[in-house]
Structure 1
Amino acid sequence: MIEKKLELRKLVIYYSFEGNTKFIAENIAKITDADLAELKPKKELTSKGFMKYIWGGSQVMMKKRPELYPLEKNPEDYDIIFIGTPVWAWTFAPPLSTFFHSNSLQNKKIALFSCNRGQNGKTFENMKKELEGNDILGEIELFDPLLKDKNKNLQKIEEWIKGMFINL
């Protein structure tokens, strides 16, 4: 049974603005032996400090879908897909909106993760709406993982992954 689980093709897709989501994505890929695919906007926000919240939040409210560079991996080729995002204005970041509307994922096993510095809001609820027709294996919210005890956050994702994989 364990060998069968290891044969499943896994992909971690993520967008990261400040590195938190990237840190978690890279560690999920390492733990699960998954491929990694970063969503990269052709025109990235350049605001830092408080202004990043204004510009990022306005993109969410205006339902922007920034143009992305093509992914090097085809999500259709994978059995399990981890999808990660920072939380912007209590939901997923705009590059994920572009991804969801450019790919029609169906009948996939999907795990969701988010990184935030405040509240997750409706991030997972909104992601699940975009991913109807898929089996959502689980979700995990991480609070500021680069600044708030990296080792504890890594332990948290390891336990989360083990819990999901037991049921496959």
Structure 2
Amino acid sequence: MMRTLIVYYSLEGNTRFIAEAVAKCVNGDILELKPEKDIPSKGFLKFVLGGKQVIFKECPKLKTLEKSIEDYDMIFLGSPVWAGTFTPAFNTLFSKNKIENKKVALFCCYGGQSGKIFGNFRKHLAKSTVVGEIGFKEPLKNDKELNKSRAEKWAKNIMNKL
């Protein structure tokens, strides 16, 4: 039986919404990346501080991870798009965890465009096989149920191919 883990970071709840839908659909475990000090989820400072972390490739200190990526065969990675890429919490994850010889699927949530998030994720996953990617434009604001069903269908298709 393939062990599946959904790893995500969410500031405003969009990525959490998709991660939970995927986890339920594939009967996977869930791991939220939680910085010890997070940025504000609203207002101008959100963009200033989040953008600064991305530009300087910061690795914010994360709260202790409750699961080990090593224990899983299939990993879903989900992030909001910040300044065209994944959130700094993933810099920390990649600096402390080797994701090798895994099947990996990527998802993101964005307000504008998905930017280079998938290409940037792939740079850290060279020793794994990326089996799918999908983006969601503000899923909590834009037809929540349709986005949930898109996430479930996508996740099922990936698991059926393995």
- TM-score band by shorter chain is over 0.9
3-state DSSP class of the match of 1:43? Answer: coil
Tell me the TM-score normalized by structure 1: 0.93
Instruction: Report how far residue 131 of structure 1 moved.
Output: 1.1
Deviations along 1:84-110, whole A, 9 cap, x unmatched? 001000000000110011101110000
Quick one: which amino acid aligns to residue 66 of structure 1?
Answer: P
Contact 1:47 1:55 in 2 (8 A): no
Match of 2:140 in 1: 146
**What residue ranges of structure 1 are gaps of 5+ in the alignment?**
1-6
Is structure 2 residue 65 aligned with structure 1 residue 64?
no
Matches within 5 A, 1:19-38: 19-38=13-32
1:45 aligns with 2:39: yes
Q: What are the equivalent positions in structure 2 for 1:19-168 lying under 5 Å apart?
A: 19-46=13-40, 48-168=42-162
Tell me which amino acid in the other structure corresponds to 2:73.
D
Deviation string 1:61-82 (CA, Å, 9 cap, x unpaired) is: 0111000012111110001000
Task: Percent identity, please.
Answer: 49
Q: Per the alignment, in what secondary structure is the counterpart of residue 92 of structure 1? A: coil
Give, in whole Å, the separation in 2 of the partners of 1:127 and 1:65: 15
Instruction: Provide the TM-score with structure 2 as the length reference.
Output: 0.97
8 Å CA contact retained: 1:100, 1:130: yes
In the alignment, the residues of structure 2 paired with residue 54 and residue 121 of structure 1 have an alpha-carbon distance, to the nearest angstrom, of 18
Structure 2 distance, partners of 1:112, 1:47, is 23
Displacement after TM superposition at 1:47 (Å):
5.6
> How big is each residue's C-alpha offset from its partner over 1:6-59, in whole Å with a ceiling of 9 and x where there is no partner?
x21000000001111111111110000000000010111126223311211111
Paired with 1:12 and 1:159, the residues of 2 have a C-alpha distance of 16
Choose which of 8, 11, 30 in structure 2 pairs with 1:14. Answer: 8
Q: Which residue of 2 aligns with 1:3?
A: none
Measured in 1, the distance between the counterparts of 2:96 and 2:136 equals 27
1:26 is matched by which residue type in structure 2?
A: E
Cα deviation, 1:136-158, whole Å, max 9, x if unaligned, reads 01001000011111111011112
Runs of 4+ aligned residues of structure 1 deviating over 3 Å after TM superposition are none
Give the count of matched residue pairs: 162
